Chain A
Amino acid sequence: MKIVVLVKHVPDAQFDRHITGPGNTTDRDESILSELDEYALEAALQLAEERGGTKAGNEVIALSMGPSGAVNALKKSLQIGAYSGVHLSDDALAGSDAAATSLALAATIRHLSADGRPVDLVLTGMASTDGETSLIPAQLAERLSLPQLTFASSLEVNGRTVVARRDAGAHSETVEAQLPALVSVTDQINEPRYPNFKGILAAKKKKIASLSLADIGVDPSQVGQAGSWTVVESAAARPPRTAGTIITDEGDAGIKLVDFLAAQKLL
Chain B
Amino acid sequence: MANALVFIDNPGAALKKSNLELLTLARKLGETAVAFTGELTDDVAATLGAYGATTIYQPSVDDLADYLVAPKAAYLAAAVATSGATAVLLENSPEGKEIAGRLGIKLNAGVITDVVGLDADRTAHKSVLAGSYNTTAKATTPVAVLSVKANIVEPEPAGTVAEPATAKVEVPADAVANAARISSRTEKPASGRPDLSEARIVVAGGRGVDGDFAPVEELADALGAAIGASRAATDAGWIGHDAQVGQTGVTVSPQLYISAGISGAIQQKAGMQTSKVIVAINKDAEAPVFEIADFGIIGDLFKVLPQATAEIKKRKG
Contact = CB atoms under 8 A, between A and B. Distances in A.
Contact of B113 (A135, A167, A175, A264): A135
A230 to B, nearest CB: 4
| Chain B interface helix/strand/loop/mixed | mixed
A98 B295 contact: no
Given A135-B111, A141-B102, A13 B295 contact: no
Nearest to B291: A243
Interface in B229-256: 241-242, 247-248, 255-256
Interface residues of B, number: 92
B183 interface: yes
Given A13-B247, A142-B70, A246 B111 contact: no
A68 B105 CA distance: 28
Contacts of A163: 183
Contacts of A77: none
A202 interface: no
B195 interface: yes
Q: Quick one: which of B95, B131, B304 has the most chain A CB within 10 A?
A: B304
Interface in B77-103: 93-95, 97-102
Contact of A175 (B180, B241, B270): B180
A245 B279 CA distance: 10
Contacts of A126: 248
Which label, helix, strand, loop or mixed, suits the secondary structure of the A interface? Answer: mixed
Contact of B132 (A17, A98, A234, A262): A17
Contacts of A244: 293-296
Contacts of A31: none
Given A142-B102, A186-B248, A246-B290, 9 more contacts: A19-B129, A99-B111, A133-B97, A134-B101, A143-B105, A150-B68, A181-B180, A237-B133, A247-B296
Interface of B: 68-70, 73, 93-95, 97-102, 104-106, 108-114, 123, 127-141, 178-188, 190, 195, 201, 223, 241-242, 247-248, 255-256, 266-267, 270, 273, 277-279, 281, 285, 290-300, 303-312, 315-316
Q: Across the A-B interface, give the 6 residue pairs with the lowest CB-CB distance, nearest first.
A: A254-B307, A249-B299, A138-B101, A229-B110, A254-B308, A244-B294
11 contacts: A15-B266, A98-B104, A126-B248, A137-B98, A138-B97, A139-B104, A167-B241, A174-B183, A186-B248, A229-B109, A238-B273
